[in-house]
Structure 1
Amino acid sequence: MVDSIPEGARYTASEVAERTGVSLEQAKRLWRALGFPEAGDEAFYTEDDLVALTTLTDILATGIIDFDLAVNLTRGVGLTMARLSDWEVSAMVHHLEALGRLEERPAVKEVAAALTDEFNERFEGLITYAWRRHMSAALARLEASEAEDLGTTQVTVGFADIVSFTALSNTLTQEKIGDLVELFESRCADVIAVQQGRVIKSLGDSVLFVNDDPIRAYDTAEGIINVIGRDPRMPDVRLGLATGSVVTRLGDVFGPPVNMAARLTAVARRNRVIIDETTAAVLPPEQFETRRLPARPVRGFGIVEPVAVRRH
């Protein structure tokens, strides 16, 4: 049972399934994939809900994709839009607080008034533009890929990690923790974009990124250290880089280089870049000086010799 019935609810799940031409279980799977709670036998679904599911079933009817792929893609939309909505609302709350326009918490009316139809309509246009632009970039990366398996790609993976974040967060107020994380993520994202890399995900105290060019990946790591670790107002950071083949799924990347980059941050010194042997081998020696560090056990990889690196 859901907590509340949305305004304009008029259809039951069975009626939605009947009107969209799919089974009740299929309708429920698509609805769950969007990230919304199910209802029982009560009239819970609105006209907009029916239109959304009809759009999905119309796509299925073309034969371009099958039902399992539809659920997969729908889940991506649901996850992305849920995070974007939370991001948008929390950013607006922070903005209104800074302007002194929030007197009570939760200030739903004030936030809703700021997120007017006029604002959201324009923001919706931005979402569509960004999606199309990123789609073009994804297709370009696919075309440029030299991997035999189209699901894999050769990249340098970077992992940036705030040093002693747990201990640091215990000394800060919740507001300051939020400001720190936001500043960390935004500065990392700026540096990564400048070096033509991609942010894969952020985890509060860490950011995972990839770059097709290992030199640019190193420049990204150095850039993050410059804008965060060497800023006296910010905490220290550690960077790990690993190169190799990764699998791209659901907007994320998986494979040994991802795990290695994350593990290397545990052995990196503050405001330093540590790389694996593969990355060391592809960085031109006339530009970079590398130095093997003492061998040590790395979880999941056995005994590993990390490599310290710097530009000449």
Structure 2
Amino acid sequence: MVDFDALEAAGIADARRRAPLIEYLDSLGFTAEQMVAAERQGRLFGLAGDVVQWSGQPRHSLTDAAQALGLPLADVEQAWAVLGLTVADPNTPTLTDNDIEALRTWTDLRTAIGDDAATGFLRVIGASVARVAEALASMSRAGLPELDLAHSHDELVTAQAYRSAAAFIPRIGGMIDSFHRHHLFAARTYFDAIVHHESLTVDCGVGFADLSNFTQLTQRLTPADLTSLLGEFNAITNDVVHADGGRVIKFIGDAVMWVSATPESLARVAVDLVHHPRPKMAHIRVRAGLSFGPVVATGGDYFGNAVNLAARLVAAAEPGQILVAAPWYDMPGKWPVAPREPLVLKGFNDPVTAFEVCAEAEQAARLAQ
């Protein structure tokens, strides 16, 4: 039996009027203390879902974690900050038992691969998981408008929506673990196929593609249409790059960066992207810039002159055009190209001799194989 008078005395406003919500939370096993704490945060309606997000009770502070791991507090604070997470007070219980074990894995990685590499990997995890979390949050709000109390006008309905959405969190964690293992195998297979100069330097193709006149598109499309357009482009890009044996490295607004093991596969991706029928049906043109050479592969990203060159070439390309730089012309493999005027590119001291990939000839050559 819920004691509404006691709840009101403890700080829950209008407890009797909010009886459906409170009785729902009571049926889920929440205590009066938990409800009062949630009310103080202005999220009594979110309690049913908020509690499922945690991997356990927050029993440990950062200070406790440092003692458990045998590390200086400053090291643990830095690790938490590198993950993109913040704690106002290092002595406030914020971490669960699982959080401590996750940090223990990081400390073991420090021993195995060194401080800098382990911290860099932690930074990649933080950025990647933050993006997953933001995608999940935006997807949930779009698909479950009842999560917004201003939409539902009913705390019970919103509480039930939070509970429903939060139930996926542990399952999504399992999804990530499963798919991570498959991607790890794919990454190993990819790196086995390319030339290595040293531990971090590899020879590979780098491609950039983007939507021509994207700034103008943002001015005439509604936010919903723009979201749909970018989602469609991302889906097309993933399908094309993976089908042609490449790897998507990152999306930057309307642009995508990918890598391929050979010039031929890099060209196939570019041609298939630029001439994909779905953007054409929407009267949108794609352009691409390609380069090949030694790059540094670290932290899930690629750096070097070949990356910079491909990025500058896509910016110089016309709608529907694929530009490559001079070294490509002498590389093995069939590359139907047409010479273009030397390009003055930002960051390059001398004009760059560029060629345009002749998509029709490239496609004909593929059909003849």
The reply to whether residue 76 of structure 1 matches residue 124 of structure 2 is yes
Which of 36-45 and 217-226 deviates more?
36-45
Structure 1 residue 68: Cα displacement: 3.3
Show CA shifts across 1:143-174 (max 9, x none): 34432212111111111011111121011222
Aligned in 2, Cα 1:93/1:226: closer, same or farther, shift over 3 Å? farther
The reply to whether residue 43 of structure 1 matches residue 76 of structure 2 is no
SS in structure 2 of the partner of residue 38 of structure 1: coil
Q: 2:341 aligns to what?
A: 294
SS in structure 2 of the partner of residue 177 of structure 1: helix
Q: 1:131 aligns to what?
A: 180
Alignment check: 8 A CA contact 2:201 2:295 kept: yes
CA distance in 2, matches of 1:170, 1:236: 17
The reply to whether residue 148 of structure 1 matches residue 197 of structure 2 is yes
CA distance in 2, matches of 1:212, 1:229: 26
Alignment check: 8 A CA contact 1:228 1:235 kept: no
Counterpart of 1:270 (choices 319, 323, 326) is 319
CA distance in 2, matches of 1:216, 1:74: 32
* Higher share of residues assigned helix: 2
Structure 1 residue 228: Cα displacement: 5.8
Q: 1:227 aligns to what?
A: 276
CA distance in 2, matches of 1:124, 1:114: 16
Aligned in 2, Cα 1:142/1:163: closer, same or farther, shift over 3 Å? closer
Aligned in 2, Cα 1:246/1:106: closer, same or farther, shift over 3 Å? farther
Query: What's the % identity of the aligned pairs?
Result: 28
Structure 1 residue 175: Cα displacement: 1.7
Q: In structure 2, what residue type is equivalent to 1:76?
A: V
CA distance in 2, matches of 1:105, 1:171: 29
Q: 1:95 aligns to what?
A: 143
**How many correspondences in the alignment?**
300
CA RMSD of aligned residues (A): 2.6
Structure 1 residue 110: Cα displacement: 6.5
* Higher share of residues assigned strand: 1
Alignment check: 8 A CA contact 1:191 1:220 kept: yes
Counterpart of 1:238 (choices 287, 294, 310) is 287
Which of 21-30 and 294-303 deviates more?
294-303
Given the two structures, how large is their TM-score scaled by the length of structure 2?
0.73
User: 1:170-209 counterparts in 2 under 5 A?
Assistant: 170-209=219-258
CA distance in 1, matches of 2:245, 2:273: 14
Which segments of 5 or more consecutive residues in structure 2 lack a partner in the other structure? 1-40, 42-49, 52-56, 153-157, 362-369
Aligned in 2, Cα 1:198/1:41: closer, same or farther, shift over 3 Å? closer
Q: 1:27 aligns to what?
A: 76
Aligned in 2, Cα 1:291/1:69: closer, same or farther, shift over 3 Å? closer
SS in structure 1 of the partner of residue 281 of structure 2: coil
SS in structure 1 of the partner of residue 229 of structure 2: helix
Which segments of 5 or more consecutive residues in structure 1 lack a partner in the other structure? none
Which of 229-238 and 212-221 deviates more?
229-238
Show CA shifts across 1:259-305 (max 9, x none): 111111232221121111122322634xx432111123111222112
Alignment check: 8 A CA contact 2:61 2:95 kept: no
Structure 1 residue 193: Cα displacement: 0.7
Show CA shifts across 1:35-73 (max 9, x none): 21122255142324334324434555xx42333333222
CA distance in 1, matches of 2:82, 2:302: 21
Structure 1 residue 26: Cα displacement: 1.1
Structure 1 residue 127: Cα displacement: 1.1
SS in structure 2 of the partner of residue 115 of structure 1: helix
Q: 2:37 aligns to what?
A: none
Show CA shifts across 1:101-129 (max 9, x none): 66756887566334343x33332222112
Show CA shifts across 1:173-193 (max 9, x none): 222211111111111111101
Which of 79-88 and 46-55 deviates more?
46-55
SS in structure 2 of the partner of residue 304 of structure 1: coil
SS in structure 1 of the partner of residue 177 of structure 2: helix
CA distance in 1, matches of 2:62, 2:243: 47
CA distance in 2, matches of 1:240, 1:229: 20
Higher radius of gyration, 1 or 2: 2
Q: 2:356 aligns to what?
A: 308
SS in structure 1 of the partner of residue 347 of structure 2: coil
